[in-house]
Structure 1
C-alpha cells in the first residue's frame, strides 16, 4: 500500500425529505446568498426547486438562479455562471441535480475567485487555491460528484473534455441525498448511473499496487451491492431501499474511499471522454461500451487483477487458466450491462463507424503519449481498445 492523504470533510444528510434542511445547513456553513444551479425542467416540474427556495427563504438566505446546464457540461455555461455569480455576489454554489450540474457549479466556484480563465485549471496552467463553497442537492446517483473534489467540463472549441481533481478545495461542504428524488428517473438514466458508479470503482480496483486488501474488498463489496440492487430498481423504480443503496454506492464509488493507498488507472474514463465529447453520448453509456473492451485488451497484457475480479465479483470458478477466468468475468459484466438496457458496442451506442483515428489522436493530444497506469497505453493500444469496442462477442 502506498502512502496517502485522505481528506473528506463533506457533511452528508441522507434520507426522506432532507431537502427541507437546505436552508438550515446553508446558514450553518456561513452562506449569505446562494446561487442555485440546475439543468432542465425536472427539478421545476417536481416541485423540488420550489422546496429548496422556500427552505432558503425560511432560513433568511437570499438566492439567485441559473438553469439550463446540459449533460456533458460545457465551458460556455461556466463562463456565464462566473459572470452571473460575480454580479449577484453569491458566496455559495448550490447545484440541484446530478453530476453535470454539480461539475458546472464546482467550475464556477473555482473560476469566480480567479483572475484568469477558469480553463487554466483544467489544462494545468494554474492550480485551484481557493473557491466559493459548494453544497449539493442530489437527484441523480451516478457521477459521485456530491462526495468528490472532481469536476469534468468540455471546451466547445476543439471538443476538449478534461477533468480536474481538487479534493482539498472543491469537495462539497454538505450534500443532501434523498433517494425519493430518484424515483422518476428514466430507466436508461438510472442504468447509465449504475455503469458510471461501477466504472469509478473499477478505475481504482485495477491497480498494480500490492497489499491493498482493504481497498480491494471495499471495491468488490460495493460492486456486488450495486449488481444486486440495480435490477430491483429497474423492476420497481420506487423501491426505497434499493434506491437508497444505489445512491450511497454512487458516493462511495467516487469520494476516494475505494482508492486509498493505490495507484489508480482512469484510462477507460479518458477513452470514454473522447467519445462523449465528439459524439455527445451519455457518459455512463459510453463507459458500458469502453470498460469491457479495455478489460478484454488487458486479458492479454495484465490478466491477474482481471481474473481476481471475475472470481470475487462475478463468482467465476477459480482455475489455473486465468485468461479463461477473466474472459468469463468480462462476459458476465457485458451481460449485466445488457440486462439493464445499456449498450456494450459502438453500434449499440448509435455509432456505426467510429472515427478511431480521431478518437485516439484527441485522447493522446489531451493526455499525453501514455495513458493510464494498469498498463500504460500507447496510441496504438488505444486504437485497438476502440476497435474491440466495435465487436460484439
Structure 2
C-alpha cells in the first residue's frame, strides 16, 4: 500500500426529500445563481419548478440555461461562461446527470478565464479559482457529483477530453434516489457500466497488500451487478436506485484509489474516441472497451483477474488454473454487459467498422502514453481497438 493524500470537500445530502434543502445550500455559497439543466425531463417531473421556488425562497437571483447535451459540447461551455460573466454569477447549480454537472464545472472554470475554455482540455491553459458549484443528481453513473473531474467534447476537432482541478468539486450534492425513478432502462444500463468501469480503472493495479481497497472495490462492483438488473425491471425500486446512486459516488470520489495509484484510465481515454467521432453514449463505449482491454492485458497479472473472478463474479476457481480463472471473470463481465444489461460489446454491434482506428489511436495518445496496469504502446492501442471490432 502506498502513501496518499485524500481530499474530498463535497457535502453529500442523501435520501428522499433532500431536495428541500437545495435553496439553503445554494444560498450558503452564493446568491446569484446560474441554473443549469439538460433536456426537458426535469421540467416534466416537476423538479424544475420546485427548485426555482426553493431558490426564490432562499433569496437567490436565478439565470437559467438549459439544453446541455449528453457528452456536453464546448460551445455550451463557452455560452455558459459568457452568460456567467454578463450576469455576474457567483454559483452554478447543476440539475441532471454527469453531463450537466461536467458542463457546470467547465463553465465555472471558463467564467473567470480570459481565453477559450477548450484550453483546459487541450493542455494549453490552467483552471484557477473557478466559481462555486452545487449539484442535484438525477442519473447514477459518472460520479461527477463528488469529484473534481470534468469531460467535454469538441465536435469541430472530434475530441473528447478531461481535466481535473480541486476547485471543481461541487460544494454540495443532493442525492435523492427517487429522482432517478424515471431514468429509462437503457440509460440505467449505461450508468451501471460507467460505475463498474470507474471501479475497474482503479481495481486493476499492481500495488501489493491492498485488502481494504480491494474489498471496497469488490463490494461496489457486486452491488452494481445485483442492483442494476432490479432497477431496470423495477424503475421505482427505492433500494436498488439508492444502492446504485451511492455506488456511483463511492466509485469515483477518491476513496478507491487511496493507497494504490490514480488508476489506469486507458479504456476511458480510448472509449472517448467512440463518443467524439461516432456519438456513442459513454457507457456504450465502455461496454465495448473493457472486455477487449481485459483480454489483451490479463496475462500481465493473471492473479488479479482470478481474484476478480472469484470475489466479484462468484466463480468457483478451485479446479481452474490461474489463467483459466482469469478468463472466466472476463467472460462473466462481457456476458453481463451483453446478455443481462442488453448492451453492445463490439464496434460491429453499433455498425462501426475499423476505418478510423489509426485516427482514433493518434487522438487517444495525443497528450501521453496510456495505461498504468499495463503501459500501452501505440501498437497495443491499435490492437485493442481491432480486437473490439
Calculate the TM-score normalised by the size of structure 2. Answer: 0.96
Give ranges in structure 2 of 5+ residues lacking alignment. Answer: none
Once the 2 structures are TM-superposed, how far is the Cα of residue 352 of structure 1 from its aligned partner?
A: 4.3
- CA distance in 1 between partners of 2:352 and 2:45 (Å): 33
SS of the residue 1:161 aligns to: strand
Q: Quick check: 123-132 or 191-200, which moved more? A: 123-132
Distance 1:316 1:342, change over 3 A: same
1:289-318 alpha-carbon deviations (Å, 9 max, x no partner): 101110000123332322221121112223
Once the 2 structures are TM-superposed, how far is the Cα of residue 40 of structure 1 from its aligned partner?
A: 0.8
Aligned residue pairs, count:
386
1:150-199 alpha-carbon deviations (Å, 9 max, x no partner): 00011222112111121x21100000111111111110000000000100
1:334-378 alpha-carbon deviations (Å, 9 max, x no partner): 11112111111112233244522222122112x33x211111111
Q: Paired residue for 2:198?
A: 200
- CA distance in 1 between partners of 2:72 and 2:377 (Å): 28
Runs ≥4 in structure 1, deviation > 6 angstroms?
A: none
Report if the CA contact (8 A) 1:285-1:349 is conserved. no
Q: Paired residue for 1:321?
A: 321
Q: Paired residue for 1:351?
A: 352
Q: Paired residue for 2:77?
A: 78
- CA distance in 2 between partners of 1:355 and 1:303 (Å): 31
Q: Paired residue for 1:240?
A: 238
Q: Quick check: 262-271 or 188-197, which moved more? A: 262-271
SS of the residue 2:64 aligns to: strand
Q: Paired residue for 1:335?
A: 335
Once the 2 structures are TM-superposed, how far is the Cα of residue 67 of structure 1 from its aligned partner?
A: 0.7
Q: Quick check: 345-354 or 171-180, which moved more? A: 345-354
Report if the CA contact (8 A) 2:145-2:170 is conserved. yes
- CA distance in 2 between partners of 1:289 and 1:115 (Å): 39
Q: Quick check: 179-188 or 208-217, which moved more? A: 208-217
Q: Paired residue for 1:4?
A: 4
Q: Paired residue for 1:120?
A: 119
- CA distance in 1 between partners of 2:82 and 2:356 (Å): 37
1:43-97 alpha-carbon deviations (Å, 9 max, x no partner): 1111111111000001111111111111111111100000011111111011110
Q: Paired residue for 1:17?
A: 17
Q: Quick check: 105-114 or 121-130, which moved more? A: 121-130
- CA distance in 2 between partners of 1:383 and 1:323 (Å): 24
Report if the CA contact (8 A) 1:146-1:175 is conserved. yes
Q: Paired residue for 2:62?
A: 63
Q: Paired residue for 1:279?
A: 278
Once the 2 structures are TM-superposed, how far is the Cα of residue 277 of structure 1 from its aligned partner?
A: 0.7
- CA distance in 2 between partners of 1:216 and 1:171 (Å): 25
Please show how residues 212-231 of structure 1 align to structure 2 within 5 Å. 212-231=210-229
SS of the residue 2:34 aligns to: strand
Please show how residues 1-393 of structure 1 align to structure 2 within 5 Å. 1-29=1-29, 31-166=30-165, 168-263=166-261, 264-319=263-318, 321-338=321-338, 339-353=340-354, 355-365=356-366, 367-368=367-368, 370-390=369-389
Distance 1:227 1:354, change over 3 A: farther
- CA distance in 2 between partners of 1:21 and 1:37 (Å): 17
Once the 2 structures are TM-superposed, how far is the Cα of residue 128 of structure 1 from its aligned partner?
A: 1.8
SS of the residue 1:257 aligns to: coil
SS of the residue 1:345 aligns to: coil
- CA distance in 2 between partners of 1:349 and 1:205 (Å): 28
- CA distance in 1 between partners of 2:323 and 2:212 (Å): 25
Report if the CA contact (8 A) 1:102-1:145 is conserved. yes
Once the 2 structures are TM-superposed, how far is the Cα of residue 255 of structure 1 from its aligned partner?
A: 0.6
Report if the CA contact (8 A) 2:153-2:160 is conserved. yes
- CA distance in 2 between partners of 1:300 and 1:387 (Å): 19
- CA distance in 1 between partners of 2:354 and 2:159 (Å): 21
SS of the residue 2:349 aligns to: coil
- CA distance in 2 between partners of 1:350 and 1:191 (Å): 20
